Amino acid sequence: MSLASAWAVALHGVDGMLVEIEADIGPGLPGLHMVGLPDTALSEARDRVRAAVLNSGERWPSRRMTLALSPATLPKGGSSYDVALACALLAADRRIPGERLCGLVLIGELALDGRLRPVRGVLPAVLAARQVGIGQVVVPTASLAEASLVDGIQVRGATCLKEVLSWLRNPTVGLACSGPPRPAPSVTVPDLRDVLAQGDARWAVEVAAAGGHHLFLTGPPGTGKTMLAQRMVGLLPALTDQEALEVTAVHSVAGLLSPETPLITLPPFVAPHHTSSVAALVGGGSGLAKPGAVSRAHRGVLFLDEVAEFGPRSLEALRTPLEDGEIRLARRDGAVRYPARCLLVLAANPCPCAPPDERDCTCAPSARRRYLGRLSGPLLDRVDLRVAMRPVKDMGESDAEPESTAIVRARVLRAREAARARWVGTGWSTNAEVPGPVLRRRFRLPRAVTEPIAAALHRGMVTARGADRTLRLAWTVADLAGRDRPLAEDVSAAMGLRDRRAA
């Protein structure tokens, strides 16, 4: 009886867990048996591995072979285990030294001719391997740039199984090593200067970007709602190293990374169509849930254009991730967690007919109520800023030129830096992330300053959640003004930006 083991990584969302693959070759009828809750794709690995081993010039053991994937109770799926399965079997058959597999994680799918194909989720898998103290990882060459984003672990790339086996037999045989990361291609972001007039909406966009607040824009067609949303990404700061890894990990699991420049350094902009399902918006699928639009927009902007056309179930599914900054999805093979700390921008016409001039509206009052009534009160309560935009009356004949993205972004970055310095050590980086009790206790404002919020709460104009969100807005307005603490005028400005009647 011969026994050997290799290591792979099982992914649950963006969280990885080390999997030990034990291979046993003993007496009995020839065949390969796999245990450890493999899914269909993993069960089919027995045929891929056999063909790849034979086409790599190796002998296939003609005895009874058992592969056990531990932990046995953890569901495992996908094709990323193929290389580890092949190496565990060949080590058990004494074809390669088993001790070389200690402290080594193998990731990759095998083609029938032995080529290593890239798989999804390489970045979170390598991060999980580093976290448990693994020193080396071998990935397909096509995924080498992505795996090399992780510091503190030796990453090697191989094009075929034969290269991996040669390296395991003789360490002096080199595998491809990671080189310096390629710079990300420059991305041209539309300039805020292109948006005509709309001073109130431009101010709301600036406040939203400075504090990470959600925004709702309403107005007739052609007023610039979509243009403002598309230009918001240009106002946001570049992602920090940790944020870039978080965003890149989500896109890696979704299979959306560029092989050449996988690291995402700019805030993403995601704009799903209004026919998107609940699963497309928040994540889903059979087995283990895949990330949806709200997670792909993590640390960036999620733009829902024509939001009144979205299905109510899709919109209501956003309530929890907007509040918690993450989405938790339970499916057949277990529960997964994806980050979802995005800036939500909603845009809608005021009614179904949406004429350029509201005086020409032909909709009945009940039709107007039903149209925007698809956005429930609990959902709107989580949206901090609401702006009603008006038709553009001036196409640029005036001498005053709108401010550019660069000018506005400078103010946004100063406000963000002030907030980051205030919340340093707490885990929060923007005012929108700070819990209400912290603002009301540790950063309590004088009663004379918060009187407008108290009065609105007493009259039922805002909820307790809305009062906390108005406080966050007031801190952002103060940061933009360069003040250490909000004044009464900042609170009043925040109340105006959150006025429910604006929607």
pLDDT digits (tens, 9 = 90+) for 442-475: 999 999 999 999 998 888 888 999 999 999 999 9
pTM for this entry: 0.91
Q: Does residue 206 surpass a pLDDT of 50?
A: yes
Q: How confident is the model at residue 369 (pLDDT cuts 50, 70, 90)?
A: confident
Secondary structure class of 357 (helix, strand, coil):
coil
Q: How many CB atoms lie within 10 A of CB 30?
A: 10
Beta-carbon contacts of residue 23 (< 8 Å; ≥ 6 apart): 3, 4, 5, 6, 65, 66, 67, 85, 88, 89, 91, 92
Q: Is the dihedral of CA 19, 25, 26, 27 positive or negative?
A: positive
Residue 128: the pLDDT is 96
Report the C-alpha gap between 123 and 337 in whole angstroms.
16
What's the pLDDT at 288? Answer: 86
Whole-angstrom distance, CA of residue 116 vs CA of residue 139: 8
Task: Produce one character per residue of 259-283: b if its CB has 16 or more CB atoms within 10 Å, e if not.
Answer: eeebbbbbbbbbbbeeebebbbbbb
Residue 69's contacts (CB-CB under 8 Å, 6 or more residues apart) are 19, 20, 21, 22, 34, 35, 36, 37, 38, 76, 81
pLDDT tens digits, one per residue of 483-496 = 999 999 999 999 99
Beta strands in 340-428 (DSSP E): 343-348, 385-388
| pLDDT tens by residue, 129-161 | 999 999 999 999 999 999 999 999 999 999 999
User: Which element (helix H / strand E) includes 162?
Assistant: helix 161-169
Predicted pLDDT of residue 184: 65
pLDDT in tens, 1-29: 589 999 999 999 999 999 999 999 998 88
Per-residue confidence band for 165, with pLDDT thresholds at 50, 70 and 90: very high
Q: What is the mean pLDDT of residues 355-365?
A: 84
Q: What is the mean pLDDT of the chain?
A: 91
pLDDT of the residue at 502: 40
How far apart CA 290 and CA 418 sit, in angstroms, is 36
Strands (E), 205-313: 215-218, 269-270, 283-284, 290-291, 301-304
Averaged over 286-299, what is the pLDDT? 93
Euclidean distance between the first and final Cα of the chain, in Å?
73
pLDDT of amino acid 404 = 92
Q: Which residues of 2-21 are buried (b: 16+ CB within 10 A; e: fewer)?
A: bebbbbbbbbbbbebebbeb
Q: What is the pLDDT of residue 500?
A: 43
The CA-based dihedral angle spanning residues 192, 197, 200, 203, taken in that order and rounded to the nearest 10 degrees = 20
Alpha carbon distance 29, 64 (integer Å): 6
The domains of the chain, with CATH numbers, are 2-177 (3.30.230.10), 192-394+401-427 (3.40.50.300), 434-503 (no CATH)
Q: Which two tokens stand for residue 163?
A: 């290269």
**Among all chains, which residue has been given the structure tokens 């080396």?**
136
Measure the CA–CA gap between 289 and 331, rounded to whole angstroms.
6
Within 10 angstroms of residue 344's Cβ, the number of other Cβ atoms is: 24
Give the pLDDT score at 503.
39
Q: Is 456 helix (H, G, I), strand (E, B) or coil?
A: helix
The strand order across the sheet containing 385-388 reads: 269-270, 301-304, 343-348, 215-218, 385-388
Report pLDDT for 360: 81
Asked if 20 and 36 count as a contact pair (C-beta separation under 8 A), the reply is no
Instruction: Kindly list the strands in the beta sheet with 64-70, ordered across the sheet, starting from the edge strand earlier in the chain.
Output: 31-35, 64-70, 15-26, 2-12, 104-106, 136-140, 154-158, 176-177
Listed residue (484, 494, 499) closest to 451, CA to CA = 494
pLDDT in tens, 378-397: 999 999 999 999 887 766 65
What's the pLDDT tens digit per position in 185-203?
A: 677 888 999 888 888 899 9
Among the listed ranges 176-190, 273-287, 399-413, which one has the minimum average pLDDT value?
176-190
Average pLDDT, stretch 353-376?
85
Distance in angstroms (rounded) separating the CA atoms of residues 302 and 345? 6
Residue 35: CA count within 13 A, CB half-sphere = 10
